Structure 1
Amino acid sequence: MDRTELITSPLPQQQLKVGGAVTDKDKVAARKAAREFEGLFVGMMLKSMRETVGKDMLAGKGQSDEIYRSMLDQEYVKAVVERGGLGLAKMIEAQLIKQPDIKQRPGVKNESGNSPLPAGD
């Protein structure tokens, strides 16, 4: 798999068949990918939020404080995603499941390894 496929395909082609029927396995893969993406998004949001506020002088300034904050943020992310998150995962999952209805996208190779449509400029 080359970089173009990684950029243009949210899930590997083996998991979601282009133009095929959606199976339960596809739905599980889409749900997992959507939840992971939402978790990454929430984690980045928390990190950005922490950077906007001042340092807590009670907790300390060392590396241990950074590790503690990172671990705490990871637990916050888990809790948010397990409780339904921000609603992004449901929307992303729906779009990933709809994706097999697309006949072919530029830059995505079909099962024979050919790209029937020319890549856009």
Structure 2
Amino acid sequence: MSLVWGLQIIIEIPGEDNMDIIKSAQIQKTLFNQLADKNLERMRGQTKFGQIGSEKNIEKVARDFESVFINKLFESMRKAIPKSGLFDSSAMDMFQSMTDQEMSKKMSERKGMGIGEMVYKDLSRLNKVSRGESIDSSSLKMPVSHKTGNILGE
């Protein structure tokens, strides 16, 4: 008899009293990566430029993008930390990845790192241009030093 709980597979071996848990870290990683790819595809499909009323969709796509970005950042940071063995299990890996995913969603809802806001501004500008509306060109220019005339940041 096999029982699927969440993304972790638990198998009961006949004749054994205890249940063996299959180490599924690679399967979990693959499933979460597929979920992230699916979310990106969904975001691409939601953004239809040039349509009136698509600003809400653009905002959602920008927040979702930031959430996926932050989640990948957390994943990379966790890989950089050496495993101690004390909490090294597939269940802990799954718990941490689910916690990271929820934390990245919450961060993107509360302005997060500002990436979603930048993406939203750029996509909104592109949306206005595709509808034939004029945009404020001052926001597109690089800031220039009044003393030297050079572009700031160089």
TM over 0.5: yes
TM-superposed CA distance for 1:58, in Å, is 3.2
Q: 2:82 aligns with which of 54, 57, 61?
A: 54
CA distance in 1, matches of 2:114, 2:77: 19
- Indicate whether 1:31 and 2:64 are aligned: no
Give the structure with higher Rg (CA).
2
Question: Relative to structure 2, which stretch is displaced further, 50-59 or 39-48?
Answer: 50-59
Which residue matches 2:16? none
Structure with more relative contact order (C-alpha pairs < 8 Å, separation 6 or more): 1
Which residue matches 2:139? none
Residue 71 of structure 2 contacts residue 104 of structure 2 at CA under 8 Å; is this kept in 1?
yes
Which residue matches 1:40? 68
TM-superposed CA distance for 1:50, in Å, is 0.4
Q: 2:107 aligns with which of 80, 91, 97?
A: 80
TM-superposed CA distance for 1:79, in Å, is 2.1
Higher strand share: 2
Which residue matches 2:49? 16
TM-score, normalised via structure 2 length: 0.50
The sequence identity of aligned pairs, in percent, is 27
CA distance in 1, matches of 2:58, 2:99: 27
CA distance in 1, matches of 2:58, 2:94: 31
- Over 3 Å counting, the alpha-carbon distance change for 1:12 and 1:68 in structure 2 is closer
TM-superposed CA distance for 1:27, in Å, is 0.6
Number of matched pairs: 88
RMSD: 2.3
Unaligned runs of 5+ in 1: 1-9, 104-121
Residue 47 of structure 2 contacts residue 61 of structure 2 at CA under 8 Å; is this kept in 1?
no
Residue 67 of structure 2 contacts residue 108 of structure 2 at CA under 8 Å; is this kept in 1?
yes
